[in-house]
Amino acid sequence: MPFQKGDLESVMAAHPHVARWVRDFEERYGSRPVYYGPLDRDARKMKPLNLIYITKEPIFVHIYQPPTDGDEISQTLWFGLEPQLTDEEENVRRDLIETLLKEAPSAPNFTTDEEFENILSGMIDRYTVIGSGGGQKGGRIRQLLGMDDEKIGVTREQRERLRYTIIRDLVRNGPLEPLLSDEMLEDIHSVGLKHVHMDHKVFGMVTSNIRFRERELLARYLRAMSERIGRPVSDNKPIVDGALLDGSRINIIFSDDVSMLGPSFTIRKFAEETISIIQLIKWGTLSPQVAAYVWICLEYGMSVLVSGETASGKTTTLNAILPFIDHNVKIYSAEDTPEVKVRHKIWQRLVTRESKNEDSRVEMFDLLKAALRSRPRYIIIGEIRGIEGATAFQAMQTGHPVIATFHASSIVKMIQRFTGDPINVPIRFFDNLNFALFQEVVEAPGGGIARRVTGIDEVIGYNKHSDGVLTRGMFEWDPVKDKHYFRGMFQSHLLENKIAAQMGFENKRDVYDEMERRTEAIQRMADRDLTHYDDVFDLIGIYYSNGFDAFRSAIEGWVGINHR
């Protein structure tokens, strides 16, 4: 049900758990939050900060910044609002789950979580009956009416609360569901029994009302979660990395003698919808000209590393540039944690496999060796961390372009890391890489955080006299003006010496006109707010199928998914 901004009364009428929260909050603190609707970045301007926004019904979030006295540091609080069970309803939930478990062997088979949810929902309807509530099982009268004695009497509101809670705990993410449903959260930090803290896209670091109150409960939850993602944690193996069902990364540190404050975990949330290159342009992460340059390079088989520090948005940018690869070629991806999202028709997606048995273990090195025999147009590596980096350079050397992410903040540091332990790429081979794109987390104009492509460097070649690598900066970002500048006009080694001839230009500098033509088309997509990933992919697909003129014409008549 859509709610209008400012219409808190309608939200409260539709969701009793929100109504109870608002009334209790107003009674305790003397102020009532406003209903903001779906959150946007302008929300940070609200003073005082006291608002409610929707994530996924029936879950809402209340953001509140208590007033401070003097030099006291203000703290932003995040409250997840979800249906809550009373003690009596909790007993009903246990009875209902017991009944569901007894009936589980006769339930239909399922292959997806959505199918499992539908089965559970149907069983909840079947074993409850709308009445006066109270959680009483039927007796003599119900038997005379021919009704199943196992049915539990509930009110309609109770049934929906039970449905939400049971599905949340059996299928979804248990007590973390409010956190993982909030697309405005980036990182989730839980240390022992402390309140969970999160990095919020709009409000920065926030403190939640969610915490585990018992160590045994926390340990049990982390064991169950680790088993569900196929990376079981234990005292013998206290640290694991994996991916949740929505693609978010999770790192679990389990044992008390390793994590001194108790079991802890960190979740790096991923957006449910892949972020497009046009959306990144609208956010200022990069410019249309940067996008046009990358497009030309990827169309003509250049290898690139998307590099930056932790949480700088490397994987987001990597996914955003993949539609620039010819849509009629084979893509091969190799990852430890599945994060790369490819829409090309021929996509061979592989992930590593952990195992105590060395013979059944599959490591990144194994996947990349297999890639060399698979004849892909591009090899996508989720992240280069170790010796697989040397294999990636071997792939480039044998004519297999590579796109990967890497942890380094500059071209100098990148070269140092690749040529040192444990990767050990010989420095004379480094020019198999064509260019590197660098990205950072910066302070956003108007406050908060933002991601910016801070530079692009081309790798020109190995200089045997200095035993070093020649590079040239193509783009740089001006932090004062928050603007990207192209420094490579008539100086691009890749555009002039590697790509122009492939494009059929007799005058190699005509390639810059082509780059400008694509820049204008990309800008037009941004002007028309064609930000959905599928729209961007499909429009670029028209370019690869029917040429630039058809692509440019399609932009004008295209009705974007966000506008339908």
pLDDT higher than 70, residue 134: no
Give the pLDDT mean for 38-48.
88
Strands of 50-54's sheet in order across = 34-37, 50-54, 60-64, 77-81, 204-208, 197-200, 185-191, 264-268, 249-253, 239-243
* Cα separation values, 124 from 102, 159, 286, Å: 13, 8, 49
From residue 369, alpha-carbon distances to 231, 334, 366, 392, 393 in Å are: 24, 10, 5, 9, 12
Q: Return the pLDDT at 147.
A: 43
Predicted confidence band of residue 507 (pLDDT cuts 50, 70, 90): very high
Q: Residues 466-506: pLDDT tens digits?
A: 999 999 999 999 999 999 999 999 999 999 999 999 999 99
Render pLDDT for 270-281 as a digit per residue (tens, 0 to 9): 887 899 999 999
Interstrand relation of 60-64 and 197-200 (parallel, antiparallel or unpaired): unpaired
Distance, CA of 488 to CA of 457 (rounded, Å): 10
pLDDT at 449 over 90: no
- pLDDT category at 257 given cuts 50, 70, 90 is confident
- The single-letter code of the amino acid at 246 is D
Domain end (from 28, 50, 80): 80
Pair (235, 284) in one structural domain? no
pTM: 0.83
Report yes or no on 121 lying in a domain: yes
User: For position 441, what pLDDT does the model report?
Assistant: 93
- In percent, how much of the chain has pLDDT > 70? 96
**Tokens 């509530």 — which residue?**
133
Per the domain annotation, does 340 fall within a domain? yes
| Average model confidence (pLDDT) across the chain | 91
Task: Show which of 19, 48, 80 is a domain's final residue.
Answer: 80
Residue 506, CA atoms < 13 Å, CB-side half-sphere: 0
Same domain, 279 and 186: no
Whether residues 149 and 188 fall in one domain: no
Alpha-carbon distance of 241 to 258, in angstroms, equals: 15
Tell me if 176 is assigned to some domain: no
Residues 139 and 192 placed together within one structural domain of the fold = no
Confidence of residue 222 (pLDDT cuts 50, 70, 90): very high
The CATH number for 480's domain is 3.40.50.300
C-alpha span between 284 and 289 (Å, rounded): 12
Average pLDDT over residues 381-409: 94
Residue 203 lies in a domain: no
- 92 and 51 in a single domain? The answer is no
pLDDT confidence bin for 139, thresholds 50/70/90: very low
pLDDT at 155 over 80: yes
Tell me: do 267 and 316 sit in the same domain: no
Enumerate residues 6+ apart whose C-beta is below 8 A from 165. 83, 85, 93
Establish if 337 belongs to a structural domain.
Answer: yes
Q: What is the pLDDT of residue 149?
A: 54
What does the pLDDT average to over 339-347? 95
In this prediction, residues 403-407 reach a mean pLDDT of 97
Residue 54 lies in a domain: yes
Same domain, 445 and 470: yes
Helix (H, G, I), strand (E, B) or coil at 2: coil
Structural domain count, the chain: 4
State the pLDDT confidence band at 338, using cuts at 50, 70 and 90.
Answer: confident
**Does residue 512 form part of some domain?**
yes
Query: What's the pLDDT score for residue 150?
Result: 63
Q: Are residues 194 and 265 in the same domain?
A: yes
Q: What's the pLDDT score for residue 419?
A: 95
Q: How confident is the model at residue 307 (pLDDT cuts 50, 70, 90)?
A: very high
Which residue segment(s) compose the domain that 42 sits in?
Answer: 1-80
Confidence of residue 71 (pLDDT cuts 50, 70, 90): low
Asked if 151 and 49 sit in the same domain, the reply is: no
Q: Same domain, yes or no, for 152 and 191?
A: no
Same domain, 456 and 508: yes
The answer to the question of residue 448 being in a domain is: yes
**Do residues 552 and 529 make contact, with C-beta atoms less than 8 angstroms apart?**
no
Angle at 382 between CA 263 and CA 226, to 5 degrees: 25
Domain final residue, candidates 222, 238, 271: 271
What's the pLDDT band for 145 if we cut at 50, 70, 90? very low
Tokens of 39: 């959150």
Same domain assignment for residues 412 and 501: yes
DSSP strand pairing (197-200 vs 185-191): antiparallel
Whether residue 73 is predicted with pLDDT greater than 80 in this model: the reply is no
